[in-house]
């Protein structure tokens, strides 16, 4: 098991909470808070950390751009686990402050986007500033001479940096959650559990009518359910995009494996990001599978083809 974990810091971030959810044994491991998502990727790529944890997507704001950019570019890393963490925001300030005293608020961009309605009602004239993480906002507010009066962050962060809570539950959506992933250097994926997810990036070979539909067909005709499809610019010019895909199933599953082979034939490139246990491991996808697309169906078809090739008709 890894014993050095890098994560988006400083201490007290939602990412640290996700790390402790993913790896309870991390209490006895070396934890390495990093100043940014790119620093987490760098620590894992250089071998300074055995694994890293970063946010991937939020139920309100969608994908985290820096994480997606790092997964698409640079030396490959694999996703080996995921966790979904409920996100609840609290407004923290130094002792003795009141809501009416707050003129400058610091937080992470995703947190700011999720608390705009509360801020517009209660702090309509406050200046809003974004920093690298919600915990970094709390840490900054706690420093002497801080330019900020308050931070929007997790309760663990505000308490860790000795701040006082002014208002809790200030998020616009009570059910908001963020999905975090564990990253490791390339190697065999975790064994199939029967409740897995496979992530990849597909680069279309050209820009033409039906190119995206052809990509999606590789999954549809094999009964593979997609849980996320997000376009990202390749950086090669305007109008050039790759597609980040999450699919239910494991690369060891016949249907998923065939879909990946199909993508490899029609795409310029396919970057495999990993097969790993889903956070919602109790979900039952069987009722949604099209007819004749179970693992047994694919195995029977493979045996039939093998017989034909061997002359057993």
Whether the per-residue pLDDT at 283 is higher than 60: the answer is: no
193 with 248: CB under 8 angstroms?
no
Nearest of 262, 277, 153, 265 to residue 216 by alpha carbon: 262
Instruction: Render pLDDT for 14-70 as a digit per residue (tens, 0 to 9).
Output: 899 899 888 877 667 899 999 899 999 999 999 999 999 999 998 888 888 899 999
Task: Note the pLDDT of residue 299.
Answer: 83
Choosing from 13, 15, 178, 198, the catalytic residue is 178
% of the chain exceeding 70 in pLDDT? 95
Task: Note the pLDDT of residue 298.
Answer: 83
Instruction: Render pLDDT for 244-254 as a digit per residue (tens, 0 to 9).
Output: 999 999 999 99
Nearest of 61, 60, 62, 57 to residue 37 by alpha carbon: 57
Instruction: Render pLDDT for 185-209 as a digit per residue (tens, 0 to 9).
Output: 999 999 999 999 999 999 987 777 8
Task: Note the pLDDT of residue 295.
Answer: 79
Nearest of 84, 78, 296 to residue 176 by alpha carbon: 84
- Write b or e for each residue in 200-234: b if 16 or more Cβ atoms lie within 10 A of its Cβ, otherwise e: bbbbbeeeeeeebeebeebbeebbbeeeeeeebeb
Task: Note the pLDDT of residue 45.
Answer: 97
**30-44, 66-80, 128-142, 291-305: which has the minimum mean pLDDT?**
291-305
Higher pLDDT, 282 or 276: 276
Nearest of 176, 183, 154 to residue 10 by alpha carbon: 154
Choosing from 14, 41, 89, 180, the catalytic residue is 180
Q: How far apart are CA 251 and CA 257, in angstroms?
A: 5
Q: Is 180 a catalytic residue?
A: yes
10 cis-preceded (ω within 30 degrees of 0): yes
Task: Note the pLDDT of residue 225.
Answer: 93
Higher pLDDT, 308 or 275: 275
% of the chain exceeding 90 in pLDDT? 68
């Amino acid at each position: 098991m890894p014993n050095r974990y890098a994560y988006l810091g400083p201490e007290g971030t939602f990412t640290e909470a996700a790390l402790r959810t993913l790896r309870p044994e991390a209490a006895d491991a070396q934890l390495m808070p990093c100043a940014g998502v790119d620093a987490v990727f760098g620590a894992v790529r250089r071998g300074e950390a055995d694994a890293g944890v970063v946010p991937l997507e939020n139920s309100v704001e969608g994908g985290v751009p820096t994480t997606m950019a790092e997964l698409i570019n640079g030396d490959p890393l694999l996703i080996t686990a995921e966790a979904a963490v409920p996100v609840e925001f609290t407004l923290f300030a130094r002792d003795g402050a009141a809501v009416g005293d707050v003129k400058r608020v610091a937080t992470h961009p995703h947190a700011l986007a999720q608390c705009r309605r509360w801020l517009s009602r209660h702090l309509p004239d406050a200046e809003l500033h974004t920093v690298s993480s919600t915990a970094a906002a709390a840490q900054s507010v706690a420093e002497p001479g801080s330019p900020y009066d308050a931070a929007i962050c997790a309760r663990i962060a505000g308490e860790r940096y000795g701040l006082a809570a002014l208002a809790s539950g200030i998020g616009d959506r009570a059910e908001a959650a963020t999905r975090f992933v564990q990253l490791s250097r390339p190697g065999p994926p975790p064994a199939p559990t029967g409740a897995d997810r496979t992530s990849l990036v597909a680069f279309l070979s050209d820009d033409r009518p039906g190119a995206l539909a052809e990509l999606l067909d590789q999954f549809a005709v094999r009964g593979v359910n997609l849980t996320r499809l997000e376009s990202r610019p390749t950086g090669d010019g305007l109008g050039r995009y790759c597609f980040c895909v999450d699919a239910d199933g494991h690369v060891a599953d016949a249907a998923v494996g065939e879909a990946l082979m199909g993508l490899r034939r029609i795409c310029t490139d396919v970057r495999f990001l990993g097969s790993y246990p889903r956070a919602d491991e109790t979900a039952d996808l069987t009722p949604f599978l099209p007819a004749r697309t179970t693992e047994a169906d694919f195995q029977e078809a493979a045996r039939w083809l093998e017989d034909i090739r061997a002359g057993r008709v």
